[in-house]
Structure 1
Amino acid sequence: MKRKLKSDMEQVSRFSEEEIARRAASDPDALPTDEAFWMRAVRAEHPAKKQNVTIRLSPGVLEFFKRQGPGYQTRINAVLERYVEIQENQIARR
């Protein structure tokens, strides 16, 4: 049976700005930010939707990625994205 997750938004909506700031400051996972951080911040774009393709890989390559567990196709994609980035950087330097 799936457990239904509860949202704390109703409770949070009743917090004052001071209470929110106090709780954020005491949260060990919250990283402090300052004006300089926000001046350097850039808006992240949603990644393009992936396309389904058929690709032929050598058995050794496929087994290497599958041995690392679920998500092997995502890891293969990440390796290929990094390869493209390196190649584009080399082309741009020429």
Structure 2
Amino acid sequence: MTKENIVRYSLNELLSKDGGTQDDAPEGPELGPDFWATAELVVPRAKKSIHLRIDQEVYDFFKSQGPGHLTRMGAVLRSYVEAQRRS
């Protein structure tokens, strides 16, 4: 996402929105039959809510990359688990 794509709204502006999209929002690409012929349903895995103590530096690193930092942390842990299972 580039900076020119970022739109900032105040809380009052968000609360007054009707939940629709911007009038000038671009249409997504046509995916076509080839895409749908090989499309695969991926069901999200169940997640467990836990309390986890981590180093401040580790948390700050992921948090500095923006929203989704907990998801990214989980992805790194999942990669580690999968690598350990392969070895």
TM-score, normalised relative to structure 2: 0.59
**How do 1:71-90 and structure 2 match up within 5 A?**
71-90=68-87
Structure 2 residue runs without a partner (length 5+): 1-15, 22-26
- Structure scoring higher RCO (CA < 8 A, sep ≥ 6) equals 2
What is the RMSD of the two structures over their aligned residues, measured on CA atoms?
2.7
Segments ≥4 residues shifted beyond 2 Å: 3-6, 30-35, 41-45
Structure number with larger C-alpha Rg: 1
The aligned counterpart of 2:17 is 2
The size of the alignment, in residue pairs, is: 67
Task: Pick closer, same or farther for the CA change 1:4–1:76 going to 2, 3 Å.
Answer: closer
Shift, 1:54, TM fit:
0.9
Amino acid at match of 1:2: K
The aligned counterpart of 1:30 is 30
Shift, 1:32, TM fit:
4.0
Amino acid at match of 2:59: L
**How do 1:5-84 and structure 2 match up within 5 A?**
5=20, 29-34=29-34, 38=37, 41=38, 43-84=40-81
Distance 2:61 2:86 in 1: 27
Distance 1:85 1:50 in 2: 17
Shift, 1:56, TM fit:
1.1
